[in-house]
Amino acid sequence: MIVFPAIDLRHGRCVRLRQGRARDETVYSDDPVAVARHWVGQGAEWLHVVNLDGAFGEGQTKSISSLPINLRRLSQIHAAVPDTPIQFGGGLRSLVDLETALSLGATRTILGTAAVQDPELVADALERFGTERIVVGIDARDGKVATHGWLQTSTVTAAALGRAMFQQGVARAVYTNIARDGMLTGVDVEGTAALAQDTGLQVIASGGVATLADVARLKQHAGAGIEGVIIGQALYTGAVSLPEVIQVTRISPGASM
């Protein structure tokens, strides 16, 4: 199971939000590149980078020659840790957005709002960039998918979106239970496992990891389609350490921690 340390970018800084609320922001670093180096030095095999400005509809780019600060940060992070793959999302709503992110160093990109509002874009992206480059973000509030940086809630259920995306050829999704994101209240293991089983997608859990026990519970479902876990707040507050989390993901089923 892959551990993805989260680097959430807001106005070029590394921050964490509570339940995705822009007004409830904690700044952890003015230097996201140093943060990336730190996580890689701690053993990270992947990074999960989110452009919160883009998710909120701010700082959109129409061409590679005009880059908002968070996209420049993506490029800088890739240059600093070129051998570490980056999963990147936030405000990617066109083929141009995807191409720009990939050209700046993203290994794969996440379509969230676009997956709900523009399924044809998902199909076009899969055809153009391939399955390994495209991930769907399924962010749910009370079972319904939220869009536009979680500011709006659709009528589509997480399971229905997941099934539709799988039928289109999507292989994996990032699933976030918004109520738990940034709250250190425990990850939604049951919801994540159910989504994987209901849809056929490989699912990356996100939101709420508070302890090593959360990670161990997710690991128990790895064979059922849970591919990884994104951890933010727990790492930044020191509730868990990255080396400890990685060790838990490598423990064989049935072994004691």
* CATH code at position 42: 3.20.20.70
Interior angle at CA 118, CA 115 and CA 120, nearest 5 = 100
Q: Count of residues for the chain?
A: 257
Domain extent for 17: 2-248
Cα 129 to Cα 136: distance, rounded to the nearest angstrom: 14
* Higher pLDDT pick, 67 / 205: 205
Identify whether 256 is part of a domain: no
| Closest C-alpha among 49, 56, 7, 47 to residue 27 | 7
Asked whether residue 257 carries a pLDDT value surpassing 80, the answer given is no
Asked whether residue 62 carries a pLDDT value surpassing 60, the answer given is no
- Supply the mean pLDDT for the chain: 88
Question: In the structure encoding, which two tokens stand for residue 142, read together?
Answer: 């009370």
Identify whether 257 is part of a domain: no
Identify whether 255 is part of a domain: no
pLDDT digits (tens, 9 = 90+) for 229-251: 999 999 999 999 999 999 999 97
Mind telling me the catalytic residues? 8, 139
47 and 117 Cβ atoms separated by less than 8 Å: no
Number of domains in the chain: 1
pTM score, two decimals?
A: 0.90
pLDDT digits (tens, 9 = 90+) for 109-142: 999 888 888 999 999 999 999 999 999 999 888 7
